[in-house]
Amino acid sequence: MTALQPPPPGPVVLGAADLRLSAPAERRLGDVLVEQGVLTREQLDRALSQHDRVGEPLGAVLLAAGVVTRRELYAALAEVWNADLAFVEPDELDPDLARLFPAGMLARELWVPVQVERQDDGQLAVVVATAGRPSAHIAQEVQARTGVHRVRQVVTTDWDVQRALRTVWRDELVHEAVRSLAERRPEESASTVFVWPQVVLGVALVAASVTGLVLDFSTAMLALVAFVNVAVALAVGAKALISTVGTAYETVEQVTDDEVAALTDAELPHYSILVPVYKEAGIVGLLMRNLAALDYPREKLEILLLLEEDDPETLEAALAAAPPDIVRVVVVPHSLPKTKPRACNVGLAFARGEFVVIYDAEDRPEPDQLKKALIAFRKGGDDLVCVQAALNYFNARENLLTRMFTLEYSSWFDYTLAGLDKLRLPIPLGGTSNHFRTDMLRELGGWDPFNVTEDADLGIRASARGFRVAVVNSTTFEEANMAVGNWLRQRSRWIKGYMQTVLVHTRHPFRLVRTVGPRQAAGFALLIGGTPAMFLATPLLYAMLVCELVAPGLLVPAVPPWLMIVSLLNLLFGNGVIIYLSLLAGFKRRSYELVPFALLSPLYWLLHSLASYKAAWQLLTKPFYWEKTTHGLSAHVGTAAPVARRSADTGPDVGLHSLPAAVDRLAWRDVAAEVAR
- Whole-angstrom distance, CA of residue 41 vs CA of residue 142: 40
3-state secondary structure 202-250: HHHHHHHHHHHHHHCHHHHHHHHHHHHHHHHHHHHHHHHHHHHHHHCCC
Task: Considering only residues 670 and 131, tell me which one the structure prediction assigns the higher pLDDT.
Answer: 131
Residue range 598-617: mean pLDDT, rounded: 95
Alpha helices in 130-169 (DSSP H): 136-146, 158-168
Query: Residue 380 in contact with residue 468, Cβ under 8 Å?
Result: yes
The predicted pLDDT at position 647 comes to 35
What is the per-residue burial (b if ≥16 Cβ within 10 Å, else e) of 594-610? bbebbeebbebbebbbe
Check pLDDT > 90 for residue 612. Answer: yes
Closest CA to 385 of 321, 436, 318, 319: 436
The predicted pLDDT at position 95 comes to 93
Query: Residue 340 in contact with residue 307, Cβ under 8 Å?
Result: no
Closest CA to 213 of 225, 202, 203, 201: 225
Question: In this predicted structure, which of 24-28, 57-61, 413-417, 627-631 has the lowest mean pLDDT?
Answer: 24-28
Query: Residue 158 in contact with residue 110, Cβ under 8 Å?
Result: yes
- Check residue 395 and report its DSSP letter: T
Query: Residue 601 in contact with residue 582, Cβ under 8 Å?
Result: yes
Residues 6 or more apart whose CB falls under 8 angstroms from that of 385 comprise 436, 437, 440, 441, 444, 462, 467, 468, 469
Q: How confident is the model at residue 391 (pLDDT cuts 50, 70, 90)?
A: confident
- Whole-angstrom distance, CA of residue 276 vs CA of residue 291: 14
CA 357 to chain centroid: 7
List pLDDT tens digits, range 234-263: 999 999 999 989 887 765 568 999 999 999
What 3-state class would DSSP assign to 431? coil
Residue range 408-414: mean pLDDT, rounded: 88
Main-chain dihedrals φ then ψ at residue 40, nearest 5 degrees: -90, 165
> What's the N-to-C CA distance of the chain in angstroms?
25
Check pLDDT > 80 for residue 641. Answer: no
Closest CA to 345 of 335, 116, 354: 335
- Whole-angstrom distance, CA of residue 235 vs CA of residue 229: 10
Check pLDDT > 60 for residue 169. Answer: yes
485's enclosing H/E stretch is helix 484-505
Main-chain dihedrals φ then ψ at residue 386, nearest 5 degrees: -145, 140
How large is the C-alpha radius of gyration of the chain? 28
Q: What residues are paired with 274 via a beta bridge? A: 304, 358
- Whole-angstrom distance, CA of residue 255 vs CA of residue 260: 7
CA distances from 255 to 352, 368, 493, 588 (A): 26, 11, 33, 18
Check pLDDT > 50 for residue 589. Answer: yes
Residues 6 or more apart whose CB falls under 8 angstroms from that of 183 comprise none
What 3-state class would DSSP assign to 126? strand
The predicted pLDDT at position 7 comes to 41
Q: What angle do helix axes 561-588 and 400-411 make, rounded to 10 degrees?
A: 90
* 233 residue type, one letter: A
Residue range 309-315: mean pLDDT, rounded: 87
List pLDDT tens digits, range 470-488: 888 899 998 888 889 999 9
What is the per-residue burial (b if ≥16 Cβ within 10 Å, else e) of 380-402? beeebbbbbbbbbbbbbebeebb
Check pLDDT > 50 for residue 662. Answer: no
Check pLDDT > 50 for residue 111. Answer: yes
Query: Residue 124 in contact with residue 117, Cβ under 8 Å?
Result: yes
> In this structure, are strands 271-277 and 151-155 parallel, antiparallel, or unpaired?
unpaired
> Mean pLDDT, the chain, as a whole number?
85
Question: In this predicted structure, which of 86-95, 271-280, 323-332, 654-663 has the lowest mean pLDDT?
Answer: 654-663
45's enclosing H/E stretch is helix 41-54
Closest CA to 455 of 430, 418, 489, 426: 430
- Check residue 253 and report its DSSP letter: B
Q: What residues are paired with 384 via a beta bridge? A: 468
The predicted pLDDT at position 595 comes to 92
Closest CA to 405 of 638, 607, 580: 607
Check pLDDT > 50 for residue 653. Answer: no
- Whole-angstrom distance, CA of residue 70 vs CA of residue 355: 25
Closest CA to 252 of 100, 398, 399, 375: 375
Q: What angle do helix axes 284-292 and 312-320 make, rounded to 10 degrees?
A: 50
- Whole-angstrom distance, CA of residue 498 vs CA of residue 496: 5
Cβ count within 10 A of residue 231: 18
List pLDDT tens digits, range 130-167: 999 999 999 999 999 999 999 999 999 988 998 899 89
Check pLDDT > 70 for residue 269. Answer: yes
The predicted pLDDT at position 204 comes to 95
Q: How confident is the model at residue 533 (pLDDT cuts 50, 70, 90)?
A: very high
List pLDDT tens digits, range 12-58: 333 333 444 444 566 899 999 999 999 999 999 999 999 999 999 99
List pLDDT tens digits, range 415-467: 898 888 888 888 888 889 999 999 999 999 999 999 999 888 998 899 888 89
Q: How confident is the model at residue 393 (pLDDT cuts 50, 70, 90)?
A: confident
The predicted pLDDT at position 430 comes to 83
